Amino acid sequence: MNKPVRVVHYINQFFAGIGGEAAANAPVTVRHEVVGAARALQAALGGEAEIVGTLICGDNFFHDERERARHAVREALRSLRPDVMVAGPAFEAGRYGIACAEVCRVAAAEGVPAVTAMHPSNPGVMMHGREVMIVPTTASAAGMPQAVPPLARLALKLARREALGTADSEGYLSRGIRRVGYRPEPGYRRAIDMLLTKLNGRPYVSEIPYQAPAMVEPARPVAELRRTSVALVTTGGLVPKGNPDGQTSGNAQRYFRYSIEQLQSLRPGEWEAYHVGYFTHLVNKNPNYVLPLGYMRELEKAGVIGSVHPYAYTLPGVSTPVAQAERLGLGIASQLLEAKVGAGLLVST
Amino acid sequence: MISAIYDLALTTGANRVVRGCRIEHVCGNPDLGPDKDREYGMRIITTALQALTTEVSGPTLFDPQGASTETIHAS
């Protein structure tokens, strides 16, 4: 028989039985035994795994003394050398959920696979759901008996470095990762089967889950345009002629930034659209159709705007998944904010 | 955002959307001839700047061709 898997379990003061809010400032302690809620996990793990340590921390301490808490967790992992880290379940408890997700991130950075569990609306999911493996639970701790078995099952798989299936089939929340894989039936057959199922009024599951667009609160209006630096951004895939940086023609993996500081207008022959989503010949003849620098320079001279930001940002928007687009958009926005740009014109093809 | 597919931009939550001409020539129209094309392009850009200085509460269309500003309530 294999040696039992070594598990370290992170729980908060409440689930350790230390106390409620009054004990929320308790610092991280390491117990070389199975404590509180860890007993339920140990029961679900059975003889295949041994909880070699229970880490306990007050919810307030983890947030108020984040660096100390993370350091203590890191030290405990180094001395206990577990095969897997389990945190929670945190259910709907916000501070606890965030702490569980953070603990999983510390473990991952130490090379220890980790899994936690909480309610899908826990802020821990919103903050770290793309990098941390999270098993969905009910909102209240009444769901403990249902939450622990899938947590234990995943912990064993992670500890043994077994290959995992999709989030749905393994019972954790999707992290938005897409992997290339094979299916026995070709796409056209699956599509027709799905159509027939739909036409017959039977339930079916799309292979491309619908992702509702995130609604963003509108930015406040620009107060003084004549004092504002305005940036130009395009998803039209405009690059210097010859595409020197090897931009892809779709499914953008990154965005590009080009200096336009010395230019009055974008001249044909110096730029080209590298983009498989539209006929680019007109933009190649007049790049200002997707990056209207000529007009912006005129408005800059006339004092209508403060200045044109010296860098233009570009990427090919076509076939870029929403999650990827969001990541790229955040990157561009943070660079613009850093450069004290007050407004942006995004031309989308 | 300046977009020829402005209705898509509005329903996916862009808050200030300026109606562009066509996908192949968002900020202008080569069919108009150079002078009118320039005039039209400038109107698109100034409409965009006007959008930036306008308070909006949700996805709103700014149309350089019509004077009206339309508020679209995304479902």
Among A170, A202, A235, the domain boundary falls at A170
How many residue pairs from chains A and B have C-beta atoms closer than 8 A?
Answer: 94
What pLDDT is recorded for position A322? 82
pLDDT tens profile A8-36: 999 999 999 999 888 999 999 999 999 99
Residue A304 has pLDDT above 80, yes or no: yes
> What number is the average pLDDT over the span A107-112?
97
The residue of chain A nearest to residue B34, with distances taken between CA atoms, is A286
- From first CA to last CA, the distance across chain B in angstroms is 20
Min mean pLDDT across A208-212, A262-266, A306-310, B21-25 is at A208-212
Q: Are A156 and A85 in contact (CB under 8 A)?
A: no
Count structural domains, chain A. Answer: 2
- The answer to whether residues A160 and A231 belong to one domain is no
Instruction: Give contacts of B25 with chain A, Cβ < 8 Å.
Output: 282-283, 286, 289
Q: Do A348 and B3 touch (CB under 8 A)?
A: yes
In chain A, % of residues over pLDDT 70: 99
* The pair of three-digit structure tokens given for residue A285, joined into one six-digit string: 């003849």
Instruction: Give the confidence band of B74 by pLDDT, cuts at 50, 70, 90.
Output: very low
What would you report as the CA-atom Rg of chain B, rounded to the nearest whole angstrom?
Answer: 12
Residue B6 has pLDDT above 80, yes or no: yes
Q: Do A279 and B57 touch (CB under 8 A)?
A: no
Q: Do B42 and A295 touch (CB under 8 A)?
A: yes
- A224–chain B nearest CA distance, Å: 8
Among A170, A200, A217, the domain boundary falls at A170
Whether residue A202 lies inside any domain: the answer is no
Whether residue A208 lies inside any domain: the answer is no
pLDDT tens profile A122-165: 989 988 999 999 999 999 999 999 999 999 999 999 999 999 98
Of A343, A345, A349, the CB nearest to B23: A349
Count structural domains, chain B. Answer: 1
Q: Domain holding A106: CATH number? A: 3.40.50.2300
* Chain B residues interacting with chain A (CB cutoff of 8 angstroms): 1-5, 9, 11-13, 15-16, 20, 23-28, 30, 41-42, 44-46, 48-49, 52-58, 74
Whether residue A199 lies inside any domain: the answer is no
Q: Which residue has the tokens 């739909």?
A: A198
What pLDDT is recorded for position B67? 52
Structural domain span for residue B65 = 2-71
Pairing verdict, β A256-259 and A343-348: unpaired
Q: What is the mean pLDDT of chain B?
A: 89
> What number is the average pLDDT over the span B22-30?
95
- The answer to whether residues A63 and A160 belong to one domain is yes
- The answer to whether residues A11 and A117 belong to one domain is yes
Residue of B44, B52, B69, B75 to mutate for A, most A C-beta atoms under 10 A: B52
Q: Say what the ipTM of the complex is.
A: 0.91
- The answer to whether residues A132 and A236 belong to one domain is no
Among A170, A190, A212, the domain boundary falls at A170
- The answer to whether residues A96 and A241 belong to one domain is no
CA geometry: angle B66, B71, B72, nearest 5 deg: 115
Q: Which residues pair with A238 in a beta bridge?
A: A273
What pLDDT is recorded for position B71? 53
- The answer to whether residues A230 and A166 belong to one domain is no
Structural domain span for residue A340 = 225-347
- The answer to whether residues A138 and A13 belong to one domain is yes
* Amino acid code (one letter) for A213: P
